[in-house]
A and B are shown apart, each in its own frame.
Chain A
Amino acid sequence: MIGSLNRTTPVIVQGITGRMGRTHANLMRAYGTNIAGGTSVRFTPEGVDGIPVFTTCAAAVAATGAVASVVMAPPDGTRAAVEEALAAGIKLLVTPAEGVPVHDALAIGRAARAVGAVWVGASNPGLAVPGEMKMGFLPDVCLAPGPVAIMSKSGTLSYEVGYRLVRAGLGQSLWIGVGGDAVKGVRFADLLAPFNADNRTHAIALIGEVGGAEEEEFADALARTLNSKPVYALIAGREAKEGVAMGHAGALTYGTSGTLTSKTERLTAAGAHVFASIESMIAAITADLAAHRRTR
């Protein structure tokens, strides 16, 4: 699903009449995304900035043929909005809300899995196919078509990496912000196969954080993959305060996994290049992909 997104894919914005919904609907459309419609609890027959607005997802899908949705709902309203979208037949959901309760995320995950939909989020800036479309907030200044596929738990840290890749004459093939929550939609390991299958992609950049087990899961998937594209990983949180920044929920349950050491060792053993600074990662990618650089 993610690999085939392009500028013709019809996308709706749930909550389009809100301040953020309207702003980002316009920014996404300006980038090239086919924003086919939106939904709002307010009856808005005149639409918003030329975009038709419906009161339900079912009506929006019926009228526009949308298959994807950006859910601009508050954190405690995200679960209900996703359930409505899934019932209407939406197959790809991006939920940027920060602070979705964990037990709501469990319910969203189970509901999406039950109908075979792809959920990206929460607590993320969205995704992009640079040069084609974006769903969410990824800043245009960081986006350019190119050979590096990005997956990231952090929005801002990925902006920094994306921006420097663009300045180095490189760009991105696919960019998925998986988000910083513990319970989430698409996880790092889910993206290895689609990134490897994508013809535009020549390198994979993984931007992780301490906590959880996603980097370890990804390492296991990488170790099982023959002839993977090269993986460059950056893990934030070496100095994170125990029990606070990361919640520490998994520390006992998952033994030593979740620490920077564990993630670095497992990724390195699986063949990924792991870096301790943004600069060193960019330098390595730039050197290795010199042949793909645009002349500026």
Chain B
Amino acid sequence: MLLIEADGKALFRAFGIGVPDSVLVTDEVPSLPGTGPWMVKAQVPVGGRGKAGGIRKCDSAAAVAEAAHTMLGTRLRGHAVEAVLVEQTVTGAERYLSISIDAASYGVRVIYLSGGGVNVEQATESGGAGKICAPDRLAIAATLSDMVADDPDRATLMALGERLADLLLTRELVLAEINPLFVSPSGSVAGDAKLVIDLNAIDRQPDIRAIIEARPGIYKDAVRKLHEGFDYVELDPEGEIGLLTTGAGLSMMLIDELTARGGSPLNFLDIRTGQLRGSPTRIIQALTWMAERPSLKCVLVNIFAGITDLAEFSTLLADALDATPHMRVPVVARLAGRGQEAAAKILAERRPDFFVTEDLEESLERVAAIVGGGA
């Protein structure tokens, strides 16, 4: 999961990596660091901010305030802009440095480009950029040393690389990227910070957990996962189809197939039926999030039960709906596998309003008809 730049830079600071003076703005713009000009940057956890209008250079305090107020409250690449980072502009030649996990080799990939970030996409397009080495400090240092052997700023770059490697290895990051990187005789400054964390390591990374917990608005999906133990990702706050599903791949496929039929799914969900343990709590939580969206028109339940008992699940589903009276949209339930007949019988009794089928295609058609009919 990508951290916002301000959080990435806080980690940089903690590991001795230079960053520009800055102030994080969520409302009124306080006194600005230095004399300007300044960069005003939307703090959203997604790449491509510059192209989407989320990064502006401003020459005066008035221009900074105008840019900040224009960005705050808008949506950028699917994320609400809740904060902007205002920082002093850094001048000088732009370079690029990143260290990332390389899955295929069980190593890390080190990329250094003296020409800077402009060439990064081009250089990495072919997939072969940089060099791969073992995921340890010595190997990374040796690899970077080869890359910067002829660079006049070799010593500065080696010191920076050591700190970046230390950050990646001790905080168990997936990617640590500085683009642009400014190097001068007085040292190096990270113009941006792109850090991808591993949410699965968070139990042994207390400071990463603190970063996530401090911004429940920005890291909404991650906080949900940490607190609830399952994945619920809101895809479109104006979506019409709520998905009550298990399994990441199948849930993604259903989203694709519903979208291809003209539907607009509200959410992705992997509820993990194997972990319900006889309690409807998770189902109630997911239904409550769905019901909060006024655009919701229909809920599709899809459970393919290999090990889960559908009779037990359908009882939990009916219990959960009893506990969620504000959920008032049609429910299409596709239940196939273990206990399928018993489940259909239970639902026919308790929720005769449900459309229950064992056929996935039929359930998708039914959902498309419900949301299409109301459009």
Binding between chains A and B: yes
Using a CB–CB cutoff of 8 Å, the interface residues on chain A facing chain B are 27, 75-76, 99-104, 106, 109-110, 113, 137-142, 152-160, 163, 180, 182-184, 187, 207, 209-210, 212-213, 216-217, 234, 236-245, 247-257, 276-279
With most chain B CB atoms within 10 A of its CB, the pick from A153, A187, A217, A278 is A278
Nearest-neighbour CB distance to chain B for A262, whole angstroms, equals 10
A102 touches B101 (CB 8 A): yes
A252 touches B177 (CB 8 A): yes
Report A-chain residues with C-beta under 8 Å of the C-beta of B198.
Answer: 101-103
Could you name 23 residue pairs across A and B whose Cβ atoms are closer than 8 Å?
A: A101-B204, A102-B201, A103-B198, A103-B201, A106-B107, A137-B306, A139-B338, A156-B249, A160-B253, A163-B336, A183-B106, A207-B249, A212-B103, A213-B103, A234-B253, A239-B256, A239-B265, A247-B2, A247-B174, A250-B100, A252-B124, A253-B129, A277-B260
Report B-chain residues with C-beta under 8 Å of the C-beta of A187.
Answer: 104
B127 touches A213 (CB 8 A): yes
Interface residues of B in 192-216 (CB under 8 A from A): 194, 196, 198, 200-201, 203-204
A279 touches B233 (CB 8 A): no
A245 touches B233 (CB 8 A): yes
Contact residue among B125, B135, B248 (Cβ-Cβ distance under 8 Å from A103): B135
- In the bound complex, CA of A138 to CA of B259 (Å): 29
A247 touches B196 (CB 8 A): yes
Given A100-B200, A103-B201, A156-B249: A184 and B1 interface contact (C-beta under 8 Å): no
Interface 0/1 of B101-119, CB less than 8 Å to A: 1011011010100000000
- In the bound complex, CA of A87 to CA of B253 (Å): 40
Given A110-B106, A141-B306, A241-B235: A276 and B172 interface contact (C-beta under 8 Å): no
With most chain B CB atoms within 10 A of its CB, the pick from A110, A210, A212, A242 is A242
- In the bound complex, CA of A170 to CA of B306 (Å): 19
- In the bound complex, CA of A153 to CA of B120 (Å): 29
Residue of B nearest to A212 (CB): B103
Contact residue among A99, A138, A207, A255 (Cβ-Cβ distance under 8 Å from B306): A138
Contact residue among A242, A250, A255 (Cβ-Cβ distance under 8 Å from B46): A242
Interface residues of B in 147-205 (CB under 8 A from A): 169, 172, 174-175, 177, 194, 196, 198, 200-201, 203-204
B126 touches A237 (CB 8 A): no
Residue of A nearest to B169 (CB): A103
With most chain A CB atoms within 10 A of its CB, the pick from B100, B125, B250, B253 is B253
Nearest-neighbour CB distance to chain B for A118, whole angstroms, equals 14
Nearest-neighbour CB distance to chain A for B366, whole angstroms, equals 15
Residue of A nearest to B205 (CB): A101
A279 touches B361 (CB 8 A): yes
Given A139-B337, A236-B256, A241-B78: A255 and B174 interface contact (C-beta under 8 Å): no
Residue B18, interface by CB 8 Å: no
- In the bound complex, CA of A268 to CA of B77 (Å): 30
Residue of B nearest to A141 (CB): B337
B268 touches A241 (CB 8 A): yes
Interface 0/1 of B306-332, CB less than 8 Å to A: 110000000000000000000000000
Given A159-B304, A252-B124: A209 and B252 interface contact (C-beta under 8 Å): yes
Nearest-neighbour CB distance to chain A for B302, whole angstroms, equals 9
Nearest-neighbour CB distance to chain B for A172, whole angstroms, equals 14
Interface 0/1 of B333-344, CB less than 8 Å to A: 000111000000
A245 touches B268 (CB 8 A): yes
Report A-chain residues with C-beta under 8 Å of the C-beta of B127.
Answer: 213, 216, 254-255, 257
Report B-chain residues with C-beta under 8 Å of the C-beta of A180.
Answer: 248-249
Given A157-B250, A255-B127: A213 and B104 interface contact (C-beta under 8 Å): yes
B249 touches A209 (CB 8 A): yes
